[in-house]
């Protein structure tokens, strides 16, 4: 049996399927919905200290971007699947009487020539108003979600969010921030990236990029290459070529104090494979630190299995097996380009970032976020 696992970044802390409605006088509930190239995911949560408690969730692979690479349009089938999923989300929002929500769509809707037409149809048929967000906001939300995983000793941070249709990378300089305030400074980035001279105790974005290649779009680029190993090598090389405009972290800059945080279904799947989990366990994965040798060992195992073996591997799961090699190619390219032999695994993403941003704006979060990192 395939493991129960999240289908991407944004797996959740303390997921509780609550049958109860939000009672009068209770803390207001917040919702965050992320409609990506591959999946439709939603969280409903209530603030709890510096974090939040999830009271309901939804996640479904809708493959909205299926065929987009070749046609430039969202297909009739993908639109139908997605609207059906969004109707379930609408029912959950109504059932929990959620008033505060942020609902967004990302790369597939940005790229599709009929993206705006699709958003209008969603409003008409489901009553939900989704915003097609720009790459910078997508990157900001990914960064905010990872704040609790940033170590106090981190001077330079790279946050990588590998999505279905795009990959966001954000390089952050934390040297002007007091160690005990670094996570909180990153949380404030939901307001925007500060790229000029940073104020005292504020994080500065050295550079960021949104590469229009994610696990689904990169896979589709090389779908005509039959040899499994050759396809993987070409995907990794091609992704690295697309990083050429991103500011390089030179060999002269120290590895000490440098941290990469990776958030995506690829990263969490590789971590689960490394741990040998036959049933996914977020508590063991989120905050895990992996070495580049450990990541390479997992990727070599995937290659040795071949397509048929990966389909049968319970650590990968049916939803992820078709995308794991394109995601691994992205991950391997990143580790070649950046001066570190360690990666922090984040089982969180846009939904968590949207929840943090909404709650922070309303002033309902308290205390500094807790750092959590495990070997």
Q: Residue 86 in contact with residue 122, Cβ under 8 Å? A: yes
- Looking only at the bridges linking them, the beta strands covering 342-346 and 289-291 are antiparallel
**3 state DSSP class of 104:** strand
DSSP run (H or E) holding 139: helix 135-145
In angstroms, the CA 271 to CA 294 distance is: 9
CATH 3.30.420.40 boundaries in the chain: 30-133
**3 state DSSP class of 37:** coil
What would the two tokens of residue 359 be?
A: 């709650």
Q: Which of 310, 301, 329 is nearest to 230 (CA)?
A: 329
Q: Which of 210, 35, 32 is nearest to 135 (CA)?
A: 210
Fold of 30-133: Nucleotidyltransferase; domain 5 (3.30.420)
Give the contacts of 97 (CB within 8 A, at least 6 positions apart).
21, 22, 29
What would the two tokens of residue 186 be?
A: 């990153």
Q: Which of 339, 107, 363, 63 is nearest to 214 (CA)?
A: 107
- Looking only at the bridges linking them, the beta strands covering 51-61 and 258-263 are unpaired
pLDDT for the residue numbered 188: 85
Average pLDDT rounded to a whole number, residues 30-49: 95
Reported as a single tens digit per residue, the pLDDT across 315-374 is 887 778 899 999 999 999 998 888 678 899 999 989 999 999 999 889 888 755 555 445
Reported as a single tens digit per residue, the pLDDT across 204-248 is 999 999 999 999 999 999 999 999 999 999 999 999 999 888 876
In angstroms, the CA 244 to CA 136 distance is: 18
Reported as a single tens digit per residue, the pLDDT across 167-197 is 999 999 999 999 888 888 888 888 777 666 6
| Full-model pTM | 0.83
Q: Mean pLDDT check: name the lowest of 58-67, 80-89, 154-163, 253-262.
A: 253-262
137-350 homologous superfamily: Exopolyphosphatase. Domain 2 (3.30.420.150)
Gyration radius of the chain over CA positions: 20
pLDDT for the residue numbered 302: 96
CATH 3.30.420.150 boundaries in the chain: 137-350
Asked whether the predicted pLDDT for residue 294 surpasses 80, the reply is: yes
């Amino acid at each position: 049996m395939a493991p129960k696992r999240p289908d991407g970044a944004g797996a959740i802390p303390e997921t509780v399927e609550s049958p109860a409605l939000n009672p009068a006088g209770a803390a207001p509930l917040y919702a965050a919905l992320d409609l990506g190239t591959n999946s439709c995911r939603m969280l409903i949560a209530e603030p709890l200290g510096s974090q939040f408690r999830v009271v309901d969730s939804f996640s479904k692979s809708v493959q909205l971007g299926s065929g987009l690479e070749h046609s430039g349009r969202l297909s009739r089938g993908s639109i139908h699947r997605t609207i059906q999923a969004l109707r379930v989300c609408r029912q959950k929002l109504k059932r929990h009487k959620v008033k505060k929500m942020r609902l967004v769509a990302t790369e597939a809707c940005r790229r599709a020539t009929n993206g705006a037409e699709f958003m209008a149809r969603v409003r008409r048929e489901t009553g939900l108003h989704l915003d097609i967000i720009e790459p910078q906001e997508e990157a900001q939300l990914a960064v905010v979600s990872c704040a609790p995983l940033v170590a106090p000793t981190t001077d330079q941070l790279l946050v990588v969010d590998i999505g279905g249709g795009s990959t966001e990378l954000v390089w952050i300089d934390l040297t002007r921030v007091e160690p005990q305030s670094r996570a909180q400074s990153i949380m404030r980035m939901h307001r925007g990236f500060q790229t000029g001279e940073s104020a005292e105790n504020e994080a500065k974005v050295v550079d960021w990029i949104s590469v229009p290649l994610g696990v689904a779009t990169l896979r589709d680029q090389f779908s005509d290459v039959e040899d499994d190993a050759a396809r993987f090598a070409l995907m990794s090389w091609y992704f690295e070529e697309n990083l050429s405009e991103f500011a390089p972290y030179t060999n002269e800059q120290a590895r000490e104090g440098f941290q990469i945080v990776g958030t995506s279904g690829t990263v969490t799947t590789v971590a689960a494979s490394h741990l040998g989990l036959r049933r996914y366990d977020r508590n063991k994965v989120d905050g895990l630190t992996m070495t580049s040798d450990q990541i390479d060992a997992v990727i070599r195992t995937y290659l040795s299995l071949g397509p048929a073996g990966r389909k049968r591997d319970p650590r990968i799961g049916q939803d992820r097996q078709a995308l794991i090699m394109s995601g691994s190619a992205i991950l391997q390219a990143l580790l070649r380009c950046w001066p570190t032999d360690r990666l922090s695994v984040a089982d969180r993403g846009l939904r968590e970032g949207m929840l943090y941003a909404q709650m922070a704006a309303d002033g309902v979060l308290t205390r500094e976020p807790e750092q959590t990192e495990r070997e």
